[in-house]
Amino acid sequence: MIASLLIFSILPVAIIAGTIAAVSAARREAERDNATLDDGIGSVRRLFIYVLALVGVVFAAIGVAMIISGALDAIVGDTLLLDRRQGLALALAFTLVGTPAWLLFMLLAQRSVRAHEVERRSQARRLYFGVTRSVALAIVAWNAVEAGRMLLGVADVAGGPWGGLVAWSGVWAIHQRLATAEPPTTVITHLIDRFALYFGALLGLLLLLAGAIGLVAAPLSEAYDRAFRANIVSGWDRDLRASLVVLLVGVAIWGVYWLRQLAARDRLTTLWRVHVFLFGALLGVALAIVPAAIMLYTALEWYAGVPGADTAVAHFSMLPDAASALILGVATWGYHRAVIVEVGDAHERSGPERVYRYLLSAAGLVTAALGIATLIAIAAEGLAGDHADLVAAPNWWRNPLVRGVTLISVGLPLWARYWRDTQRALAAGVEERAAPSRRVYVFATVGVAIFALLVSLTIVLYQVFQAVLAVDLSLALLREARWGLGVALTTGAIAYYHVLVLREDQAALPEATATPPRARQVVLVVSGDAADLVAGLERIEGVRVRVWRRTDADGASAALSGERREALRQAVANADADRLLAIVARGDFELVPYVQDAR
């Protein structure tokens, strides 16, 4: 239950939050891209070509993979002749349909590129390259793991993984070559390429962790069995080899996509922060907390509860797996924390970092609330005593008590650690209180808590009125209403506290006025990456930034020192003009007010 609670309350929300942050960043950067594009071949025709090209390449890859795997099975396998004929017929059908279709639509796409230069910058073309490479990479990774297991003697020899590996590696290589030959020229097409890179980095990280956990768990399980068990048939070397293959494939993909292409080149961008905080550090925290909670519950159940196993050896048999996940979780969190500390800014907090901290605060709060509600329910049932129609089993309270204590022991420190950190960040000023992630967290907590309070109170009152009308009001009512009471008292306290937080935040924020803040337009003329400059300027209320890329200077002209960056921000904040031109060059800037003639 603890594992499900933490995993399903943290990671899916992190994925949704990360996707929203990434899409928001894409929309903002797309608005800054002022390139004027003609219609080219038209959006509908473009979509028609690339969707059918994607279908064609999938059919072709399936057919080629089946031909290769069928040939290998015929050489090394014992496939029946009838099965060979059916497989070959299906493979030829896929190949002879998919290959010409893909060639035809790619020929049309290439012809449109030669006829219309704008087609090189089309989002549909870049999206086709990104989706095709990502799908191919995932299938290659899966088949590489299966093929590696065959080489190490873990799995039976078969042609299927080898056919898939060869065919989809060819698909990836062809589209990687096509995409590399046409570097993205607009902000949005560059973002699409980066999405594909971050997909590869995340896939590699997940495979790396899965393999590393198995690699650590195998010898730990063997040591546990040798120390405490007898006559156990050991297969740890087989598990070790299987996990090693997954680890090597994950390291290869993660190294190419993250270490080589993203860790340094893309750092401090929004997508980089989303990956580091929500898919790196958050994943590490979950991997560390879940096994730690399981280990704590197992120990408390053995010493204070009613164990489900007869012997300690059987009861604690999960320790090697939990310990390996804990070790890798701490290592994952430590690595991403080191990356954050290395490049982070101690004076400001990014949106993804705030989401990361509020997600962990919410997970801790929910976990602790469930534990407190459990203890209240146990106390209510204990006060009720034995009902005339129900005699409680001996020690009925032990395992629920262990669950409640475990939930509180895990959730309360987690919530206190990250909530206290967010409260300390309020010293940074109004920006932290007005952050969307904080407002979503506080309002969502108050709303969910009040809703749970209303539902639980309704249930409790229903049971009270039912007992009164039946003239059966007794302590037995506490047993019937124990969970309603537990939820009502817990969520009532949570709602009250966060209402106070909400009122404090609203009091600290400047009062809303009848007139909106003055809208101002800043045109930033800069070469290279200006994400930090843009982010700093857009934190000024009412300021919107458009970026004009210089073509007569290198990226070094965009490199302002922290002092000059703050000076530019203050100059824009104090300027009276509604339209400003900020020219950044040679480590300094020039701020010029301008007006736009109406024509």
**pLDDT recorded at residue 36:** 42
Q: Are strands 579-585 and 588-593 parallel, antiparallel or unpaired?
A: antiparallel
Whether 331 contacts 288, CB under 8 Å: no
pLDDT at 28: 52
Residue 470 to residue 467: CA distance in whole angstroms: 5
Average pLDDT over residues 440-447: 94
154 lies in the same domain as 262? yes
Write the pLDDT tens digit of every residue in 406-435: 999 999 999 999 999 888 888 766 577 888
pLDDT at residue 482, rounded to an integer: 87
* 414, 323: one domain: no
pLDDT more than 90, % of the chain:
41
320 and 354 co-located in one domain: no
Examine the pLDDT at 5 and tell me if it is beyond 50. Answer: no
This prediction has a pTM of 0.78
* The two structure tokens encoding residue 146: 């299966």
Q: How many domains does the chain have?
A: 3
* pLDDT score for 291: 92
Q: Are residues 372 and 311 in the same domain?
A: no
Across the chain, mean pLDDT equals: 83
Helix (H) or strand (E) holding 89: helix 81-115
Task: Count other C-beta atoms under 10 Å from residue 227's C-beta.
Answer: 8
pLDDT tens-digit readout, 148-198: 999 888 888 888 899 999 999 999 999 999 999 888 877 788 888 899 999
Task: Give the CATH number for residue 538.
Answer: 3.40.120
In order of 6, 141, 360, 404, 472, the CA distances from 289 in angstroms are: 8, 28, 11, 16, 46
118-127, 495-504, 571-580, 586-595 — which one is most confidently predicted on average?
495-504
Segment holding 337, helix H or strand E: helix 319-343
Domain extent for 589: 520-593
305 shares its domain with 397:
no
**Does some domain include residue 361?**
yes
Q: How far is CA 575 from each of CA 144, 293, 510, 521, 533, rounded to the nearest angstrom? A: 59, 55, 21, 11, 17
Q: Is residue 567 within 8 Å of residue 508, measured between CB atoms?
A: no
In a domain, 206, yes or no: yes
For residues 448 and 524, membership in a common domain is answered with no
Count of other CB atoms within 10 angstroms of residue 325? 24
Q: Within 13 Å and on the Cβ side, how many CA atoms surround 43?
A: 2
Q: How far apart are the first and last CA of the chain?
A: 67
Asked if residue 515 is part of any domain, the answer here is no
Picking from 450, 475, 508, the residue at the C-terminal end of a domain is: 508
The secondary element (H helix, E strand) that includes residue 130 is helix 123-151
pLDDT at 1 over 50: no
Asked whether residue 326 is domain-assigned, the answer is yes
Q: Which of 70, 54, 186 is nearest to 131 (CA)?
A: 54
* Cβ pair 322, 291 in contact under 8 A: yes
Given pLDDT bands bounded at 50, 70 and 90, which one contains residue 393?
low
Q: How far apart are CA 198 and CA 195, in angstroms?
A: 5
pLDDT at 299: 92
pLDDT at 364: 94
Is the Cβ–Cβ distance between 410 and 367 less than 8 Å?
yes
Point out the domain boundary residue: 441, 476, 508: 508
Q: Are residues 478 and 546 in the same domain?
A: no
Please give the residue that has the higher pLDDT: either 567 or 393.
567
Q: With 90 as the cut, is the pLDDT of residue 307 above it?
A: no
- Clarify whether residues 389 and 328 are in a common domain: no
Residue 155 belongs to a domain: yes
State how far the Cα of 313 lies from the Cα of 291, in Å rounded to an integer: 18
Same domain, 111 and 250: yes
| 387 found inside a domain | yes
| The last residue of a domain, from among 267, 302, 332 | 332
Query: Among 252-256, 330-334, 516-520, where is mean pLDDT lowest?
Result: 516-520
| CB 87, CB 104: distance < 8 Å | no
Q: Is the dihedral of CA 46, 47, 52, 53 positive or negative?
A: positive
CA distances from residue 57 to 172, 178, 195 in whole angstroms, order as listed:
11, 14, 21
- Domain check: are 409 and 302 in the same one? no
Task: Find, among 89, 87, 108, the residue nearest to 97 by Cα.
Answer: 89
Residue 347's pLDDT band (boundaries 50, 70, 90)?
A: very low
Considering the domain architecture, whether residues 470 and 544 belong to the same structural domain is answered as no
Same domain, 325 and 392: no
CB within 8 A of 336, min separation 6: which ones? 276, 277, 280, 281, 284
Residue with tokens 């943290």, as numbered in its chain: 10
Residue at 235 is within a domain: yes
> Given the structure tokens 């904080």, which residue do they identify?
438
3-state DSSP of 539-564: CCCCEEEEEEECCCCCHHHHCCCHHH
| pLDDT bracket for residue 478 (50, 70, 90) | confident
Looking at the domain assignment, is residue 234 inside a domain?
A: yes
